[in-house]
Structure 1
Amino acid sequence: MRPLEIGVIGAGMIGRKHIERILAHPDFELAGIADPERDVVAARYPGERVVADHRALLAEARPDAVIIASPNRAHAETGIDCARSGVHILVEKPVADTVEAAARLVEESRRAGIKTLVGHHRRHHRQVQVLRGLLGAGEIGRLVGVSVVWAVYKPEAYFEAGPWRREPGGGPILINLIHEIDLLRYLVGEIAAVGAMASNSQRGFAVEDTAAALLEFAEGALATVVASDSAVSPWSVEQGTGEVPDFPFSGESSYRFFGSLGALEFPDLVRWSQPGGPPSWNRAVLAQRLPAPTLDPYVAQLDHFRDVIRGEADSLQSVEDGTRTLIATLAVSEAAGTGARIDLRPRYEALAAGSAGFAG
């Protein structure tokens, strides 16, 4: 079977991760790269096709698929251009900068019949797949709640790299918390409602540096999620899994799932239970560490995208599903600003009805 021709749109930090893995992948050939900094990118990848505009890449290279790793605000329009060209897309998170833009991308993708995947790479972790199986099999009984912490300290250089990182939309809710929202949706089920609070007390920027969300799931479980980019801790998925070399490995769990018969930690995959009798707070709770080999989730994601394009697998996350994650994440910001509990179900229904019917 011939290798798939794939292009990359956007050669920033995440785009370069994809390029490196494509170049090493036996089932893909790099069709070209589109980035406004054409000369800089061409110098980094000599011998590869590099153009300044994604439309030129689509017209000249005619790839089978592309990975969209451009700035968030360009995701939807770029994806729509790809759909109209019949090109399959893997679009980085968030799927778009607004729900209205994402809904247009959903509509155009449906009309064109292209295959789509959203780059929430954590869904591809081996530990995540094991955990999802355990939860689905009722290993800890009926899920009651989840506690999540994502707390790291972003250095000053991070904020100097772009002024947008100090403005609304550039903080941990949309940049980091969205990963936790998506992973919880994948592991637990749909989020029905959210409440939240946010603070900028540590740095005083216009954007939040800490947020706390309360999530209510359709099946009744509750979750608390705290996300901060101004706190020193070992508790983040990046540190717990060692998926990113820039984040030193801690091996610590930042997720705790608790149910009527036991509990699970992630990513450490420790199961807590009371074997040999009915549950009671008077009985010891014993731990068992479960095996789950690690892997590079970006390579696993690329493998999955290949299978989706070839019709050998259903997409683990279509652009419509990615839009539901965006709806829930943006609602956290809204809830933090208004203090209101936000019911998400009417917004999901509007998305399903199409972009013209969206009123969220």
Structure 2
Amino acid sequence: MTQETRIAVVGFGLVGRRHVDVLMSAPGVTIASVVEADAKGRADAEELGIRVFDSLEKMFEQDKPDGVLLATPTPLHVQQGLECIANDCPTLIEKPISVTSGEALQLTNAAEMAGVPLLVGHHRRHNGMVQAAKSALVNGQVGDIRAIQTTCWFYKPDYYFDEAPWRKKKGAGPISVNLVHDVDLLRHFCGEVRTAQALSVPSRRGFENEDLASAILTFKSGAVATISVSDSIVAPWSWELTSRENPRYPATNESCYLIGGSEGGLSLPDLRVWRHESGPDWWSPINAQVLTCDSQDPLVTQMHHFARVIRGEEAPLVSGIEGLKSLEVVEAIALSAESGQAVSIASMSSRSEFKPREAS
């Protein structure tokens, strides 16, 4: 019988608690401990019977988990990630990997030099719907991808901002906070981005950041993607309200991704593939086939994948370099929106990816 993989969770907020729930219920993995600086958070974890530390340093002094999951605020990711790497501990960092791509490069370089697995929690890639869509695209069911339309519209209530005033500040708008998820999926589907051209609209609520932005991305493959994001639009068209990943969000039967190809079209997350009966011809009848997919919670799938990476059985699906590349695109979108000019994305494709460890 395979021994359970012990994983520590750093940060016992909303996201950290979801990961702890997975570790306490999914077979093959278990919670080693929780690291939480806040006294109330530590008390809440202790009530669940979990071993708790108030710092990573104390945890590593007294225990060595098989892996660490960082679910702390983004500004803490680099320092905490470097500490995990220094302790030779495989690390899964919640997205985004860091505040800036420069910081992310520091972290990925350290992991590469130490030979420590570094993963980023872009969990949507572990969603069965995304995996089915990726397989359909790879298998040519839509032909060459020509364009993608992505809608990321939702309304964050006033109390969301009042309970965390930093969310009203410059740099905390939907470009930085929300788009990294969608950008990562676009890269997953279409490959590397060449340029970004964007515009943004100042917050109607008087905050320092934007509340609406649109961007056009061109890919090295020749595909073009259009993205519209807003946290002040009432609409059913966002991943949160269509994917049913998180039960906290009300579910709709809409789709928020439209992928257009030379042979067919694919909508996501409803997984409908549209093709003409007699080949590409707008006068030929067009019908949809619905793809099937695995329905397991992507957080569970991601955690099992992390355990396999720790054991040296797989390479990371979303490595630190992948998290860095997605962050570079988001930075380019923000810079383009500010300057009004198209921005080229520096290529990181020449960097080597992490190879699996030898199983111990």
What's the TM-score bracket when you normalise by the shorter of the two chains?
Answer: over 0.9
Superposed displacement of residue 345, structure 1: 2.9
Q: Deviations over 1:190-233 (max 9, x none)?
A: 11111111112432211111111111011000000001110111
Matched, 1:218 2:220: yes
Secondary structure at 2:72 match in 1:
coil
Is the contact between residue 126 and residue 298 of structure 2 (CA under 8 Å) also seen in structure 1?
Answer: yes
Counterpart for residue 300 of structure 2: 299
Equivalences for residues 179-194 of structure 1 within 5 A: 179-194=181-196
Superposed displacement of residue 136, structure 1: 1.0
Matched, 1:284 2:273: no
Equivalences for residues 325-344 of structure 1 within 5 A: 325-344=326-345
Is the contact between residue 92 and residue 119 of structure 1 (CA under 8 Å) also seen in structure 2?
Answer: yes
C-alpha separation in 1, matches of 2:102 and 2:328: 10
Moved more, 27-36 or 85-94: 27-36
Counterpart for residue 10 of structure 1: 11
C-alpha separation in 2, matches of 1:31 and 1:289: 41
Equivalences for residues 139-218 of structure 1 within 5 A: 139-218=141-220
Is the contact between residue 38 and residue 50 of structure 1 (CA under 8 Å) also seen in structure 2?
Answer: no
Is the contact between residue 332 and residue 344 of structure 2 (CA under 8 Å) also seen in structure 1?
Answer: no
The one-letter code sitting in structure 2 at the alignment partner of 1:75 is: H
Superposed displacement of residue 291, structure 1: 2.0
5+ residue gaps, structure 2: 353-360
Superposed displacement of residue 77, structure 1: 1.1
C-alpha separation in 2, matches of 1:288 and 1:48: 47
Is the contact between residue 149 and residue 235 of structure 1 (CA under 8 Å) also seen in structure 2?
Answer: yes
Matched, 1:311 2:317: no
Secondary structure at 1:209 match in 2:
strand
Superposed displacement of residue 237, structure 1: 1.3
Equivalences for residues 118-129 of structure 1 within 5 A: 118-129=120-131
C-alpha separation in 2, matches of 1:212 and 1:92: 25
The one-letter code sitting in structure 1 at the alignment partner of 2:280 is: P
Counterpart for residue 37 of structure 2: 36
The one-letter code sitting in structure 2 at the alignment partner of 1:73 is: P
C-alpha separation in 1, matches of 2:163 and 2:203: 21
Residues 283 and 43 (structure 1), Cα distance of their counterparts in 2 relative to 1, 3 Å cut: closer
The one-letter code sitting in structure 2 at the alignment partner of 1:79 is: G
Q: Deviations over 1:135-183 (max 9, x none)?
A: 1111111111000001110011110121110012211111111100001
Q: Which of 76, 79, 99 pairs up with 1:77?
A: 79
Q: Deviations over 1:215-256 (max 9, x none)?
A: 101100000000111011111112112111111110211000
Counterpart for residue 265 of structure 2: 263
Residues 157 and 138 (structure 1), Cα distance of their counterparts in 2 relative to 1, 3 Å cut: same
The one-letter code sitting in structure 2 at the alignment partner of 1:308 is: V
Secondary structure at 2:210 match in 1:
coil
Residues 286 and 26 (structure 1), Cα distance of their counterparts in 2 relative to 1, 3 Å cut: closer
Counterpart for residue 357 of structure 1: none
Is the contact between residue 242 and residue 251 of structure 1 (CA under 8 Å) also seen in structure 2?
Answer: no
C-alpha separation in 1, matches of 2:261 and 2:198: 23
Counterpart for residue 67 of structure 1: 69
The one-letter code sitting in structure 1 at the alignment partner of 2:68 is: V
C-alpha separation in 2, matches of 1:180 and 1:339: 22
Aligned length: 350
C-alpha separation in 2, matches of 1:290 and 1:49: 43
Counterpart for residue 356 of structure 2: none
The one-letter code sitting in structure 1 at the alignment partner of 2:289 is: Q
The one-letter code sitting in structure 2 at the alignment partner of 1:282 is: W
Moved more, 203-212 or 42-51: 42-51
Secondary structure at 1:45 match in 2:
helix
Q: Deviations over 1:285-318 (max 9, x none)?
A: 2222222242201001001111111111111011
C-alpha separation in 2, matches of 1:258 and 1:85: 46
Superposed displacement of residue 262, structure 1: 1.2
Counterpart for residue 108 of structure 2: 106
Superposed displacement of residue 39, structure 1: 4.1
TM-score, length-scaled by structure 1:
0.94
The one-letter code sitting in structure 2 at the alignment partner of 1:52 is: D
Moved more, 115-124 or 197-206: 197-206
C-alpha separation in 1, matches of 2:46 and 2:231: 33
C-alpha separation in 1, matches of 2:10 and 2:165: 22
Counterpart for residue 132 of structure 1: 134
What percent of counterpart residues are identical? 35
Superposed displacement of residue 28, structure 1: 2.1
TM-score, length-scaled by structure 2:
0.94
Is the contact between residue 108 and residue 118 of structure 2 (CA under 8 Å) also seen in structure 1?
Answer: no
The one-letter code sitting in structure 1 at the alignment partner of 2:323 is: G
C-alpha separation in 1, matches of 2:189 and 2:50: 39
Counterpart for residue 272 of structure 1: 274
